[in-house]
Structure 1
Amino acid sequence: MPRPAARVLALLEILQGGGTRPTAELAERLEVDERTVRRYIEHLVDLDVPVDSVRGRYGGYRLAPGYRMPPLMLTDEEAVAVLLGLVAGRRAGVVTASATAVESATAKLRRVLPKRLAARLEALLDNADFTAPVRPATHPETEVLLRVADAMRDRRPVEIGYTGREGRSSERVVHPYGIVAHSGKWYVTGADSASGEVRSFRVDRITRAAAREGAFEVPEGFDPAAHLLEDLARTPWRHQVSVRVRGDAEGIRSRLPPGIARVNATEDGWVRVRFQAERWEWVPGVLIGLDARFVVEEPPELRDHLRTLAHRLLEASE
């Protein structure tokens, strides 16, 4: 349920719609009792928001006549940055809120902008298109994400309930070193009490989070994003792939999608690339994209898949 501060803002939003709102209606919409509504009204009055109390059969609360919230004072460049950030962030899968929340935030922002600027931004959003497809995104609990961020800022351990990929639930204490967004998902990386190792956890799989007493230090030079990519490259999938590639390790690594493979130079001038795959469909494209000679070491099924694909390509080119 929303916190009291969020409900007070929701109450103000309702009153801005105009008219006199009966206490019972406000209580129902805010999912609180009428006494709590009156307390929220007092909060608004303390914030110098002029709320009138209307007595009688059709009484209730309303904003004082002529009162308007001041327009949001953003420059054109700032407004474009905020709105396009919401839209693009949602498409890229890095905005944790649902589509409904993003649309609601966008609508509220448009409503309080000066009319000239709002009209120009609406023209931009209505006519803008994107070449990249919408990336599917998970939606971690906002409160969980914020609690983990609070613990990370204060260098305090956080106790979490976690549901693993296989569906098994566990309780553990984590020292959160960093929070990383990757491929439409949010992760927290840090020292894990259950395994004694530095691990990465998907935030949408954290069922609860609570700060614990104590303190920790982040290891000097620790890079949460780099560690996450290493973790993802080690994630066990159905097929274990090992390929020898002619070239230098840095050049080969730069041609691979981030987070899918471990790259190590060998003594004979080749580079060994190891990664894991659940299905074969995307693997040939990755190997061809290396633009270098390669030899599949394992598994044999991948060699068979590449031969079959090569024959199809030759037949199609005739």
Structure 2
Amino acid sequence: MPKTSARLLALLSLLQTRRDWPGSLLAERLDISLRTVRRDVDRLRELGYPIAAAKGPEGGYRLGAGTDLPPLLFDDEQAIALTLALQVAATSPASGHAEAAARALHTIRQVMPARLRNRIDPLRVTAVAQPTTRPAAAVDGGKLLALSAAAHSHETLRLDYGAEDPDRPPRRVEPHHVVTSNGRWYLVAFDLDRQDWRVFRADRITLRTPNGPRFSPRQLPGGDVAAFVTSRFRGSTDTTGAWPCTGTVVLGVDAAALAPYVHDGVLEELGPGRCRLTLGSWSWTALAAAIARFDADITVVGPPELTHAFAHLAQRLARTTGPTT
């Protein structure tokens, strides 16, 4: 059995990973008895951690929110992920939280053990917005929180969009999701006055108070927020929809390595050394050549025209290596 201090840290780490933990499952994961689980929970409560207990034969436990913030526990990988996320936020002025993220990053670094600080210090991540015709406008963090809170609680929003006009009645929308794309923040919502789904730029929204009544969430067309937003941007420079030929491939390279060079496509991280790219071009052969320039293993997802274009491109390139006349 591990020492008490190590066991308490392991118990606290488990309690932070999910909402409810049956006592028997905690005992199994920690290789201790139910009685020891109960004693350790009591010790954590004495240290200020608000842990609620559920009644039952074996009982259950939940780590709740208290009036004071007790010490948090992160494993190494969580600390690295948190550092990366804060660095992105700190270098994204449009988020409205850049300064706060920078301060939070400094605070977290100060309390890290030396071994972990030495791993994290070399990490330098900067969020770079893709080129646009005009710079992205900063969005107040309070507005983003208000939009997200309304979407979470299913409260109708009353808002002005564009230039404020006190004589114009507010638009009434059912907020669904807050998303970011190409350096800008957007609200996906169902417009009650137009009876259709809309994507609103957050920097152009002026909220009116109070919010409207609660609503029953509608099913977003297609069910996927990212795909829906992308489809609404087609025909602009934000996506690949303006091109007559569009295809999708899986590339054997990290998405982070390609991100600086993909300005009009959709790039998705699939894991270490793999990413999915959707790109457009004026012809299938030109599209195959554009993808081949990334110097990575390629698996075509579709459509078949892209597969044929790669074969045609390979034959054309093979002829260039033959004898010249």
Larger radius of gyration: 1
TM-score (norm 1): 0.47
